[in-house]
Amino acid sequence: MHYSARVQLGGGVFRGVQPGDESIGLQTLVLFDDASARPHQRSTMALAVEDLTANAVRQAILAKQDEFVKFERFAENACTRVFQYFSRRS
C-alpha cells in the first residue's frame, strides 16, 4: 500500500516523504498532518516508513490533538494570570 493511502486511512493528509541517509543513521520519514484540524492548528508530523500504519497515524494525530489542548489550557491560564496581575496594579 502506498504511503499516502496509509496516511489517509489513519485520518491524515499526506504531505510528502523526507528521504533518510543510512550513512548517518537517518530514517526515511513520511510527513502528514491532521485532516480534521483547522488550518491554523495544523502541525506536520512524521513517522518512519517502517512504522507507518493507519493505526500509527491515528495515534500520532490523537497525541498531537491532546498536546494542542494542553497548550491551549496553559496559554489561557497564563493570560488570565497576567491579566489579573496587571488589573491589581491599576
Domain ranges for the chain: 3-89
Mean pLDDT of 54-73: 89
Q: pLDDT at position 1, please? A: 64
Q: Map residue 37 onto helix, strand or coil.
A: coil
Pairing, β 45-48 against β 12-18: unpaired
pLDDT band at 5 (very low <50, low <70, confident <90, very high): very high
Cβ neighbours for 19, distance < 8 A, ≥ 6 positions apart: 28
